[in-house]
Structure 1
Amino acid sequence: MMNTRHRHMTDWLDNLGYRDYTLSIASEDASFRSYYRVKSGSDSWILMDAPPEKESCERFIVVANKLRRVNLSAPEIVEQDTAQGFLLLTDFGSTAYLSVLDTKTEGPLYTDALAALLKMQTDIECDDLPDYDEHLLAQEMDLFRDCFLKGLLGIRLDRTQGQQWADIKKKLVQNALEQPQVFVHRDYHSRNLMKIDQRNPGILDFQDAVKGPITYDLVSLLRDCYIAWPPVRVDRLALDFYDFARVNELVDVEPAKFRCWFNLMGIQRHLKAIGIFARLKLRDGKDGYLRDIPRTLEYIEQASTEETSMKGLHTLISDLGLKTRVKSLL
């Protein structure tokens, strides 16, 4: 049975003059947005449904224009009705990076993705975007404590552990804020990059972009919550990017410092991601993301072993038995 939202979508398309089309789900999103493929003969578009009371189309439009102005591949907005929360976009197809990444393809695919990332950071004006500030960084990390530890696992931190947690957050926030601040996509990974023939990759899900730390999108891409590569390969790609960033005067630190930024930024990102995966299960009944928690937790454990400032986090993960508890969720 057609629900009210679906009927509003079809009424909107009909009023715009679209005829003889089919409407099918194009992809799942971890937010309240939905994406549908509108197909008519050999033509197809993507309809983004962003309920105005929950999501903003305006941010999507602003960031899409920023990306397209520097010749990066963001969808073109064909039609828009921001009052209803509908955008009709050009269609990049169905080949997400995640579906084609393997040991043979990762070289050229990551070369393109890293080149696009460097262009974002060097060419996009971001002073008008929200700052990735202390409040937002800490709020994201608290999803780990509130949704994952407490909500999903039933773990409440005692006073000592609570102080440990506060110290960990403080160090991770400091790490983020001391880095050069650039355009940050904020969800730059294999599910949001599409393999396309011209100006690869097609870039999606950028509406939450901010001005923030230079290593954030890099670690999101290379320590991807949905696919893992050997640490030595990740290190090589990260240092290759560092070389390009230094040539382009984005950074002026030694490689060891950049690597520390990268490791600690990854911990912040992955704490948030685990919290979001738990929230999707608790709030929306989406079980599928639980299978990505072990991989994401492994990244945290790996980086907290390497970085002495994160010894407290490594101890906390061990004391709470999180690796064992996570296995019981699957």
Structure 2
Amino acid sequence: MNNGAALILTLADEAETIRFGEDLALAFRKGDCIALSGDLGAGKSTIARAFLRALADDDTLEVPSPTFTLVQSYDLRIPVSHFDLYRLGDPSELDELGFDEALSHGVCLVEWPEMAESLLPETRVALKLEHEGDGRKVTIEGPEPQMKRLRRVLAIREFLDRHGYAGARRRFLTGDASVMRGYETIGTAAGARLVLMDWPKPPESPPVLDGKPYPKVAHLAEDVYPFVAIANYLREIGLAAPAILHADYDQGILLIENLGEEGVLDAEGKPIPERYRESVVCLGFLHSHEMLQELPAGNNHIHHVPDFDPTAMKMEARLLLDWHLPWKRGTPATDTERQEYLAIWDGLIRELDGAEKNLLLRDFHSPNIIWRAGESGIRRVGIIDFQDAMIGPTAYDLASIVQDARTDVPGPLADQLMVDYVTLRRSLGPFDEQAFQKAWAIMAAQRNCKLAGLWVRLLQRDGKPGYLKHMPRTLRYLSTALRHEVLSPLRDWCRRAGIEITE
């Protein structure tokens, strides 16, 4: 095996052994093999059972020993095949058990790996368990990518222990379209459920423009300071954002308030009008405040909220050129098409010179809005996932929710949301509706050009095909934005290039 540095852990008792098995479920991914070795009673089955129940988030999950069946399969968030090779007659029988296929689709847990060690993958992670007093010693070896993930999981456990959450129950909550962040729910001894943001420092991306990587050109947040700064600001002006309970800024770990479990979609995934309308009220409230660009974060840090500048806008719009167009028609954009497209966006961005600007949350749509029925007014709307906030045209955030990328917003509701926002802004002071409508159309087009490329990039570069289901909706939204007269050059370009545009 090509090993990273070995880890040696001491598990004091059965409870720690179970907790360790649960934490392992946060570290492993499809294609990983975990080899559990040790004498009878050393804890192999205990760890395997805890791993499976944590992955299922079901403490009652039946986990029978595969001693006689040799393999037991589980269709969980990540499929798992639990092998016990103690009764394996010959290593070659491993193929007959479907090991390779199981590994290609999920995780393989292997007890008694010694019985077929020569046929197990070189990339396996080996856990050797030994009795040590009333507890166990675990020696872990494996390839560096898997060991890095495991060390991260253990570092988060140490963070929780350090801040008074020893023994807290951890469960996977979600990842996001970013390849950087992950989230867990943390169950406390008092019965509360908190949220942990896991945001390790990302590796440097390759340069894409003027020697800068994409995150720097597009002003994407690369550490937890922006999240803390924006969360504190939103709370200060009366909006509902998560309180920051504990932070490790160097490691990129935040323990934050859980705003709730309920969203703004119904059981069928359709928008609930009342909740969308109240969310738009929050936007109007936010945009009526004085624009601030220097916001204090923790650890005596001041976060400068970046401008959504022409370079960033154009870089995002380029995703349609670089990813969507080649995927759609099988050939990349020609030099002429590229030059025309970028020149059109130069002109559209100049049209925004006089647009109203303020703090943009950037992804203000259903996945990032929590409905808090027990609260009142604007505090019924909980806001999350705002670390990439910028200063730019306020119309952008309204476009984000009126054209929600994750669900179809019916035309009448979309029209009502526009009316609600404009009516509120008029009531709060001078408001140039005509200029705002033009900015809305440009920002809606820019956002959907970005998304049309992003869905393909997530598929082809990041191996996340699930986002492609949003493509038809994104193109419909783009068609709606292109109806504004200011966007006629982009509408004509899309037709010539073969981008699917409807009337």
184, 192, 208: which is aligned to 1:36?
Answer: 184
Corresponding residue of 1:327: none
Corresponding residue of 2:350: 174
Tell whether the 8 Å contact from 1:175 to 1:265 is kept in structure 2 after alignment: no
Deviations, residues 190-241 of structure 1 (Å, cap 9, x unaligned): 1100111321111000111111102110010111111122334312321331
Identical counterparts, % of pairs: 29
Measured after TM superposition, the shift of residue 151 of structure 1 is 6.0
Tell whether the 8 Å contact from 1:121 to 1:183 is kept in structure 2 after alignment: yes
Q: Which has the higher contact order (CA 8 A, sep 6+)?
A: 1
Measured after TM superposition, the shift of residue 180 of structure 1 is 0.7
| Amino acid in structure 1 at the alignment position of 2:381 | P
Give TM-score, length-normalised by structure 2: 0.60
1:53 and 2:219 correspond: no
Deviations, residues 251-284 of structure 1 (Å, cap 9, x unaligned): 2344xx4323222210011111222222222222
Per the alignment, in what secondary structure is the counterpart of residue 364 of structure 2? Answer: coil
Per the alignment, in what secondary structure is the counterpart of residue 350 of structure 2? Answer: helix
1:307 and 2:488 correspond: no
Per the alignment, in what secondary structure is the counterpart of residue 366 of structure 2? Answer: coil
Corresponding pairs, count: 320
| Amino acid in structure 2 at the alignment position of 1:67 | L
**Unaligned runs of at least 5 residues, structure 1:** 325-330
369, 373, 380: which is aligned to 1:193?
Answer: 369
Tell whether the 8 Å contact from 1:67 to 1:124 is kept in structure 2 after alignment: no
Measured after TM superposition, the shift of residue 61 of structure 1 is 0.7
Deviations, residues 126-163 of structure 1 (Å, cap 9, x unaligned): 23321111111111111221122236754322243223
More deviation, 193-202/242-251: 242-251
Tell whether the 8 Å contact from 1:176 to 1:265 is kept in structure 2 after alignment: no
Tell whether the 8 Å contact from 2:314 to 2:342 is kept in structure 1 after alignment: no
More deviation, 74-83/91-100: 91-100
Per the alignment, in what secondary structure is the counterpart of residue 126 of structure 1? Answer: coil
Bigger radius of gyration, 1 or 2? 2
Corresponding residue of 2:307: 131
Tell whether the 8 Å contact from 1:185 to 1:208 is kept in structure 2 after alignment: yes
Of Structure 1 and Structure 2, the greater helix share is in 1
- Where does 1:274-289 land on structure 2 (aligned, <5 Å)? 274-289=452-467
Structure 1 CA distance for aligned equivalents of residues 172 and 186 of structure 2: 9
1:110 and 2:276 correspond: yes
Structure 2 CA distance for aligned equivalents of residues 60 and 14 of structure 1: 23
Structure 2 CA distance for aligned equivalents of residues 66 and 24 of structure 1: 29
Tell whether the 8 Å contact from 1:190 to 1:224 is kept in structure 2 after alignment: yes
Tell me: CA distance 1:265–1:94, structure 2 relative to 1, closer, same or farther (3 Å).
Answer: same
Tell me: CA distance 1:75–1:159, structure 2 relative to 1, closer, same or farther (3 Å).
Answer: same
Measured after TM superposition, the shift of residue 100 of structure 1 is 5.5
Tell me: CA distance 1:163–1:309, structure 2 relative to 1, closer, same or farther (3 Å).
Answer: farther
Measured after TM superposition, the shift of residue 17 of structure 1 is 2.4
Of Structure 1 and Structure 2, the greater strand share is in 2
Deviations, residues 174-196 of structure 1 (Å, cap 9, x unaligned): 23333111111111001100111
More deviation, 312-321/83-92: 312-321
- Where does 1:113-262 land on structure 2 (aligned, <5 Å)? 113-123=279-289, 125-128=291-294, 129-150=305-326, 154-196=330-372, 197-198=374-375, 199-249=379-429, 251-254=431-434, 257-262=435-440
Tell me: CA distance 1:240–1:175, structure 2 relative to 1, closer, same or farther (3 Å).
Answer: farther
More deviation, 179-188/123-132: 123-132
